[in-house]
Structure 1
Amino acid sequence: QEIPTPPALLYYRGIVDPQEILGITPTVGIVGTRYPTEYGRRWTRKISSTLAKSGFTIVSGLAMGIDTEAHQACLEAGGRTIAVFGNGVDTVYPKENKTLAEKVIKQGLVVSEYPAGTKPNSKHFPQRNRIIAGLSRAVLVMEAPQRSGALITADMANEFCRDVYVLPARLDDEKSHGCLQLINHGAEVIPITMDKLLEMLGAIPPLDIDVVEPPENLSLFEDKKRDYIPDLEPMLAQVFQHISSEAIPVDLVVQKTGLSPGDVSSSLLQLELLGLVTQLPGMRYQKN
């Protein structure tokens, strides 16, 4: 919800990592042309692999070309990657990446704001790009001609106050004219050494995260964590207060909170992604 136009819902398949949602695990978007040169492919794989081994989550769009190289290199390095779809999460586009999508689901996450059954549509992809930018702490544009969709992602990242980095290339290389344009507008140039890139992205030194435990309740007869409520937005906190360790149906949550069914469903999904509640069969929820 850090972007001006956040999706109302995010559908997903795969493994949710609460540390990504809370901003503890850094995420970096890698985007570019669907028709990269060998130079672009090589540097994309090198950078994606290095970032994955350094604890970054790689975000991209599962398109052919740069996206594919970024996802594959991350997975091969044992890292975690997020693929943002411009269609339902039950449909893989392009179909050539079906096997890659299955690997992403096992080792990361695929997300979409479009419900299952939504087919690929060219109008969806610019909207998809804003989610890539929003999920990323920084966006790296590897190769992009002047009309590349990667430039939309870069523009949105800049609008959302994310850092934008660009792979430098030859002045006469048309596949990089978009990158040169971004550099002219103030984007950072990706450094030659990976140590310098990691330093620029904030991976050196590593983040020192203090885990704050809930305050203890000194009563001898009450569950000492029962009254603990995490720091949540008002609507999420309101819904969370009505969830207990006993499963409760979603319609009862609607009744107790007085919120609309849509607001309750959206809040429950966000709480589930944060690892605070679990959905059970029959649209019932319980506190973790």
Structure 2
Amino acid sequence: MNKINILQYQIALSLIPGIGCVNAKNLIAYIGSVEGIFQEKENNLKKVPGIGVITAKKIAQSDVLSRAEEEVKFIEKYQLQTYFYLDEDYPYRLKRCADAPLLLYSKGNVNLNKRQMVAVVGTRNATTYGQECCDSLINAMAERSGYCVVSGLAYGIDVITHKACLKYEIPTIGVLGHGLDRLYPSLHKSTAQKMLEDGGLLTDFISETKIDRQNFLRRNRIIAGLCDATIVVESAEKGGALVTADIADSYNRDVFAFPGRASDTYSRGCNQLIKQNKATLIENLQDLEYFMSWQPEVDKPRKIQRQLFVELSHEEELITDELKEGELFIDQLCQQCQLPMGKVSSILLDLEFKGMVMSLPGKMYKLC
């Protein structure tokens, strides 16, 4: 059986309702192959640990191979990478997690087994303090080698982290709560596109998956499982970042948090993790490396944050001229420069790389 046919069966197994990754793995171990599951008699399926009468019937009567065939065509068309949990290149850290996805899909130049994998997560409502913590942490990584930073490409701390990685040339991976046929939020499309050069996008969802809140909570286990350490930068008393921290803790992975003032709403979650001994307090990369017993390897030259004698395009000059008057929201820039949101977002990201512009919470920007 060729590789494409095997992939079709692998995808089909992940699509059977009510199976789940744990039972799917039990099925493979018991039957001996993925394709054999679809050829096995219903009575034999019932004997597999965790598979009862109802589930065995679902497998025997499932009609998912045609949908899986469509997905194989989608994967070929867009040259996506797949990782089945028995493959050699499946992320070894994630494989140690009992509920690790059966199959992963990626786009870009992804290395899921870098020497030091770190998750950075936090609130969607990042403050200036949170942004500064992210920037300082990632900036320090620019002097090292071996780091890869994982986050969820969501609003707030997530996208701030990815942007900082792009700025300081650190490989970064965005874990999505949907398939690779779309991007949510769409405002982060230009950031995601740049991430493909050194890093990329990862998901366990097939194309045409509906945007659903539960899917984003489910993807948090991938963020936690991929990494040696999870860092919470900012979080309120409840939020997805705390869920990711709890999952990382359940995997016996190290959890860290940046502290904040007791009166700060978006530091309460971090302070709570530290107070309950669920996370170790850190203030910088040196703290992380000390607690992880990582020996820093300095073999990369320091990046110049602001380019000298920068040549700006006409549209870049329009935006920087407007920002000379003070801080502006992105929608204000769109209106005053008479440019579409997607264009302005892409230009602002390029200006950040050049050290000309800094993004602030609430989609506000200022000149550096």
Whether the aligned pair in 1 keeps the contact of 2:150 and 2:173 (CA below 8 Å) is yes
Name the residue aligned to 2:280: 188
Counterpart position of 1:49: 139
Q: What are the residue-to-residue correspondences of 1:173-252 with 2, within 5 Å?
A: 173-186=264-277, 187-191=279-283, 193-206=284-297
Q: What's the counterpart of residue 234 of structure 1?
A: none
In 1, distance between residues paired with 2:180 and 2:292?
30
* Aligned twin of 2:237: 146
Give me the whole-angstrom Cα distance separating, in 2, the residues matched to 1:138 and 1:12: 21
Q: Match of 1:37?
A: 127
CA distance in 1, matches of 2:158, 2:196: 16
Structure 1 position 90, deviation (Å): 2.1
Q: Is the 8 A contact 1:30 1:60 kept in 2?
A: yes
What is the match of residue 111 of structure 1? 202
CA distance in 2, matches of 1:89, 1:133: 20
Letter in 2 for 1:7: P
- Indicate the residue corresponding to 1:12 in structure 2: 106
Q: Distance in 2 between matches of 1:133 and 1:36?
A: 20
Q: How far apart, CA to CA, are the structure 2 residues paired with 1:72 and 1:172? A: 28
Contact 2:192 2:200 in 1 (8 A): no
CA drift at 1:3: 0.9
Deviations 1:118-147 (A, max 9, x none): 232101011110100000100000000011
Amino acid at match of 2:267: S
Q: 1:162 to 1:96 in 2, by over 3 A?
A: same
Query: C-alpha separation between the residues in 1 aligned to 2:143 and 2:125?
Result: 26
Find the counterpart in structure 2 of residue 135 from structure 1. 226
Q: CA deviation at 1:202?
A: 3.5
State how many pairs are aligned.
202
Q: Which structure has the larger Rg? A: 2
Tell me the distance in 1 between the aligned counterparts of 2:255 and 2:179: 28
- Identity across the alignment (%): 38
The aligned residue for residue 2 of structure 1 is 96
Q: Which amino acid aligns with 1:33?
A: T
- Report the Cα distance in structure 1 between the residues aligned to 2:229 and 2:222, rounded to whole angstroms: 13
> What TM-score do you get using the length of structure 1 for normalisation?
0.67
Contact 1:45 1:70 in 2 (8 A): yes
Which residue identity is paired with 1:3?
C
Q: Distance in 2 between matches of 1:3 and 1:73?
A: 29
Query: How far apart, in 1, do the equivalents of 2:161 and 2:110 lie?
Result: 20
1:195 deviates by 2.8
- Structure number with higher helix proportion: 2
**Shift in Å at residue 197 of structure 1?**
3.0
Secondary structure in structure 2 of the residue aligned to 1:106: coil
Contact 1:27–1:135 under 8 Å retained in 2: yes
1:110 is paired with a residue whose SS is: strand
Tell me: higher relative CO, structure 1 or 2? Use CA pairs within 8 A at least 6 residues apart: 1
Give the Cα–Cα distance (whole angstroms) in 2 for the partners of residues 202 and 120 of structure 1: 39
1:228-263 CA-to-partner distances (Å, cap 9, x unmatched) read xxxxxxxxxxxxxxxxxxxxxxxxxxxxxxxxxxxx
Taking structure 2 as the reference length, the TM-score comes to 0.53
**Distance in 2 of aligned mates of 1:104 and 1:117:** 22
Moved more, 36-45 or 116-125: 116-125
Q: Provide Cα deviations, 1:1-42, integer angstroms capped at 9, x if missing partner.
A: 11120101101101132xx42xx5210000000011100111
- Counterparts of 1:3 and 1:176, CA distance in 2: 29
SS in 1 for 2:196: helix
Structure 2, unmatched stretches of 5+, are: 1-94, 298-368
- The answer for the alignment partner of 1:124 in structure 2 is 215
Q: Distance in 2 between matches of 1:88 and 1:52?
A: 31
Q: CA deviation at 1:178?
A: 1.0
Q: What is the alpha-carbon distance in structure 1 between the residues aligned to residue 296 and residue 136 of structure 2?
A: 21
